[in-house]
Amino acid sequence: MRLTSLSNVLITGVDGMVGSYVDFGIKTNHHSLDITNLSETMAVIGKYKPEVIIHLAAETDVDRCEREPERAYMVNSTGTLNVANAAKKIGAKVVYVSTVYVFDGSKHGAYLESDLPCPSNHYGRSKYFGELIIKGILDDYLIARAGWVFGGGPEKDRKFVAKIIKQLQQDEVKVVDDKLGSLTYAKDLVDKIKTMIVEGKSGLVHVANAGFCSRYDVAIEIKKIMNSHSILTPVDSSYFNLDASRSDSDIMESLTGGIVRPWQEALSAYIATEWI
Ligand X SMILES: NC(=O)c1ccc[n+]([C@@H]2O[C@H](COP(=O)([O-])OP(=O)(O)OC[C@H]3O[C@@H](n4cnc5c(N)ncnc54)[C@H](OP(=O)(O)O)[C@@H]3O)[C@@H](O)[C@H]2O)c1
Where does this chain bind ligand X (CB under 6 A)? 12-13, 15-19, 29-30, 33-36, 56-60, 75, 79, 97, 99, 127, 146, 148-149, 159
Beta carbon nearer to ligand X, 189 or 271:
189
Q: Nearer to ligand X by C-beta: 107 or 159? A: 159
Q: Strand, coil or helix: what is 174? A: strand
Q: Least distance from C-beta 4 to ligand X, angstroms?
A: 26
Q: How far is the CB of 179 from ligand X (least distance, A)?
A: 14
Rounded distance, CA 160 to CA 133, Å?
30
Query: Which residue, 122 or 228, has its beta carbon nearer to ligand X?
Result: 122
Q: How far is the CB of 45 from ligand X (least distance, A)?
A: 12
- Of 87, 88, 113, 109, the closest CA to residue 98 belongs to 113
The rounded distance, in Å, linking the Cα atoms of 210 and 208 is 6
Q: How far is the CB of 125 from ligand X (least distance, A)?
A: 12
Helical segments of 73-169, H only = 79-90, 122-137, 153-156, 160-167
What one-character DSSP code corresponds to residue 120? Answer: -
Cβ of residue 172: shortest distance to ligand X, in angstroms?
A: 26
Ranked by CB distance to ligand X, the top (closest) residue is 16
Give Cα 107 distance to the centre of its chain: 21
Q: Which residues touch 139 (CB under 8 Å, ≥6 apart)?
A: none
Q: What are phi and psi of 249, to 5 degrees?
A: -135, 120
Of the two residues 86 and 228, which places its CB atom closer to ligand X in the complex?
86
Complex with ligand X: residue 149 or 228, whichever CB lies closer: 149
Residue 124 Cβ vs ligand X, minimum distance, rounded to whole Å: 10
Integer-rounded Cα radius of gyration of the chain: 18
Residue 93 and residue 142 in contact, taking contact as beta carbons nearer than 8 Å: yes
Closer residue to ligand X in complex, CB, 60/247: 60
State whether the Cα torsion 87-90-91-95 is positive or negative: negative
